[in-house]
Structure 1
Amino acid sequence: MEQHFPLILVIGSVNIDITARGAHLPAPGETVHAQSYTIGLGGKGANQAAAAARLGTGAHHRVAFAGRTGTDDFAKQARSYLTAFDLDLTALASDKQHPTGLALIGVDQKGENSITVIGGANMALDHTDVDRLQPMLEQARVVLLQLEIPLDVVEYAARCARASGCKIILDPAPAPSRPLPSSLLSLVDVLTPNETETQALTGLYPQDEATAEQASQELMRQGAQAVTIKMGGQGVWWQTPMAGGFVPAFAVSAIDTVAAGDCFNAGLATGLIQERSLQDATRLAAACGALATTKEGAAESAPEWEDVLRLMEKQNN
């Protein structure tokens, strides 16, 4: 990717995903026979980096990914998958003390999923990993963060990114067990929770536009400068201090919702690096998330830039 293209920096987790597909997800104590399984790249950080990089091929931006793998066979697989997305991996460290992250995923015939994550090397990230990123932070325009690495590292990364003048997108996933500290949220340009994460952060479940707006206002009261609430098949509510609105869902045939939220965030970063308004960037992000549900897998489901533009144009017509 050409060096003069603007840079998106993703700091976060990388996993190997083992995905089983069956008729339904198992209840506690139940054994379900799956029809198939796949092994591929995952982790919210890696998914968002891969999706942003795939978009960047057509949208003309670069993507760097910072995180940790182990030194096991899964690490070799993860690095091989990431390399195929034309990512800058100079900040992806090898950890001799911890295994590569692993995710065990079940997907039912409706495309719904259930995920168990073993953090491994992802949870060993510390401030030294961020300190090594200073040259990249000085180049980056947008930094993407999630919650699959230690929370204090997320906040430190956000603080360093803010000092370097970057726009910061925080995906508060997986859903936190308690509200996030205002010291972190005050550093965030756009917070991007889904319904479950919104409820965890505010106590409010966004079931329609009115409750989504109410929850957004609460998240901004907690410190976030702007919010997009991902409401699955309904659409997305976006909110700034000056305005808010609803972006309806794009009509697609969903088969797998894994990583749809990650592709949404990659699309949002793309929109912001193009200096679109939050409303326009949210619509772009919603198209990316929708297209991700039409393919199986996590990083593998990331859409191409031309397909995103085509879907947006189709809905316009």
Structure 2
Amino acid sequence: MKGAGSSDKQAFNSPFLQLSGLVDMTFETPLILSFGSINIDLTARSQRLPRPGETVHADSYAIGLGGKGSNQAAAAARLARSFDLDVALAGRVGCDAFGAQARASLSGFGVDLSPLRDDPENPTGIALIGIDTLAENCITVAGGANMAVDGTDIDAAAPGLERAKVLLLQLEIPQEAVLAAARRTRRAGGTVVLDPAPAPEQGLSEPLWSEIDILTPNESETFSLTGIRPTTVEEARKAADILLAKGVGAVLVKMGAKGVFWHNGTASGHLAPFRVVPIDTVAAGDCFNAGLAVALALGKSLPEAAKIASACGALATTRHGAADAAPEWDEVAALVAG
């Protein structure tokens, strides 16, 4: 797989950076693989949302890359430009104009698309998004090719799954495929990070819990999975204990404006939120996970990786869009340095 940010590799491989512990020397070129959904978002902004049976005129509209799998891959690739890291995406798109658009957008971010398959029978997934002047929204998702992901996609992505240092998973493809991907990567020694979004009403399948190295639920997903809404650090701790008891290796509870609580079963901590002026939170979760993956691929500890992830999520809220809101590494480093 072709490396992202190859022009920066010589500078990155300096003895100083290696001795500082920023480079993990155990992998020649660490791979971050996102296995998940690829959508095209069609977003209309209007004064108000239509009522049932009503048509309203939009003030503007936009067509762009979406889907949690592709958003996390794009954000990780933008961060990885500064390092000797590869970022790839596995999943499905349709053989249609939206599929071609998704491929072009992802390639522009530097994502390796060799594991991404074309589906001749199903269209590329789309999300129809309406937003009003108060930032209220309504979203209809047609999963298309995403919902057809199955064992054949696992086989096609096997080289990446077995090479991945960090595997990013979400729940916008069938859980059976998520489980199979996690097992393949963990057997090869990689780290599996699951963003449990959207949180399924029936919860996670029992076998999946023990295949998750790091779970990253937000407030609503934590409530869905544990029955506890983490509005305080103590509530986040209780929720994390429940999730750890199910077999998860570590938990990062994203508490929104109240920061992040992390717990790995033996140690825990709370990270206060970074001070930014948010204007759009749509990309925060995906950029958080992308930052976490990059930090882990660079050999950072869980608390250090959580801080980097939190900075990435915070910066994403300072601009509009999904994948386009992903920050550059120098912005993240400056925010973390404070």
Q: TM-score w.r.t. structure 1 length? A: 0.94
Distance across 1 between alignment mates of 2:136 and 2:336: 25
Superposed displacement of residue 110, structure 1: 5.8
Task: Name 1:60's counterpart in structure 2.
Answer: 84
Task: Name 2:282's counterpart in structure 1.
Answer: 258
| Counterpart selection for 2:101 from 65, 72, 77 | 77
Matches within 5 A, 1:270-281: 270-281=294-305
Shift in alpha-carbon separation, 1:111–1:152, aligned structure 2, 3 A: same
Task: Name 1:218's counterpart in structure 2.
Answer: 242
* 1:146 partnered with 2:184: no
Distance across 2 between alignment mates of 1:24 and 1:61: 44
Q: Secondary structure at the match of 1:90?
A: coil
Give the conservation status (yes or no) of the 8 Å contact 1:59–1:305: no
Shift in alpha-carbon separation, 1:29–1:60, aligned structure 2, 3 A: farther
* 1:122 partnered with 2:146: yes
Superposed displacement of residue 178, structure 1: 2.1
* 18-27 or 273-282, which deviates more: 18-27
Distance across 1 between alignment mates of 2:100 and 2:155: 25
Distance across 1 between alignment mates of 2:45 and 2:317: 15
Shift in alpha-carbon separation, 1:234–1:25, aligned structure 2, 3 A: farther
Identity %: 55
* 1:51 partnered with 2:75: yes
The aligned amino acid for 1:156 is: A
Shift in alpha-carbon separation, 1:211–1:112, aligned structure 2, 3 A: farther
Task: Name 1:184's counterpart in structure 2.
Answer: 208
Distance across 2 between alignment mates of 1:281 and 1:219: 20
* 1:290 partnered with 2:325: no
The aligned amino acid for 1:234 is: K
Matches within 5 A, 1:130-169: 130-169=154-193
Give the conservation status (yes or no) of the 8 Å contact 1:111–1:257: no
Give the conservation status (yes or no) of the 8 Å contact 2:149–2:177: yes
Q: Secondary structure at the match of 1:19?
A: strand
Measured against aligned partners, the alpha-carbon deviations of 1:23-74 in whole angstroms (never above 9, x if no partner) come to: 5656767766543221100000000000000000013311010010001111
Superposed displacement of residue 82, structure 1: 0.8
Superposed displacement of residue 271, structure 1: 1.3
Superposed displacement of residue 303, structure 1: 0.6
Task: Name 2:24's counterpart in structure 1.
Answer: none
* 84-93 or 245-254, which deviates more: 245-254
Gaps of 5+ in 2: 10-27
Distance across 2 between alignment mates of 1:106 and 1:160: 38
Shift in alpha-carbon separation, 1:20–1:278, aligned structure 2, 3 A: same
| Counterpart selection for 2:266 from 242, 257, 268 | 242
Return the index of the structure with the highest Cα Rg: 2
The aligned amino acid for 1:202 is: T
Q: TM-score w.r.t. structure 2 length? A: 0.88
The aligned amino acid for 1:130 is: I
* 25-34 or 231-240, which deviates more: 25-34
Give the RMSD, CA atoms, in angstroms: 1.8
Superposed displacement of residue 108, structure 1: 4.7
Q: Secondary structure at the match of 1:159?
A: helix
Give the conservation status (yes or no) of the 8 Å contact 2:215–2:250: yes
Distance across 1 between alignment mates of 2:67 and 2:260: 23
* 1:6 partnered with 2:30: yes
Distance across 2 between alignment mates of 1:275 and 1:112: 39
Measured against aligned partners, the alpha-carbon deviations of 1:98-124 in whole angstroms (never above 9, x if no partner) come to: 010001223455656543211000000
Matches within 5 A, 1:7-46: 7-22=31-46, 33-46=57-70
Distance across 2 between alignment mates of 1:293 and 1:202: 27
Distance across 1 between alignment mates of 2:35 and 2:66: 14
Q: Secondary structure at the match of 1:275?
A: coil
Superposed displacement of residue 166, structure 1: 0.6
Give the conservation status (yes or no) of the 8 Å contact 1:258–1:297: yes
Superposed displacement of residue 251, structure 1: 1.2
Shift in alpha-carbon separation, 1:272–1:25, aligned structure 2, 3 A: farther
Superposed displacement of residue 83, structure 1: 1.0
* 1:91 partnered with 2:111: no
Task: Name 1:208's counterpart in structure 2.
Answer: 232
Give the conservation status (yes or no) of the 8 Å contact 1:113–1:257: no
Superposed displacement of residue 255, structure 1: 1.3
Distance across 2 between alignment mates of 1:24 and 1:135: 48
Work out the number of aligned pairs and report it: 314
Superposed displacement of residue 168, structure 1: 0.2
Task: Name 2:12's counterpart in structure 1.
Answer: none
* 1:309 partnered with 2:333: yes
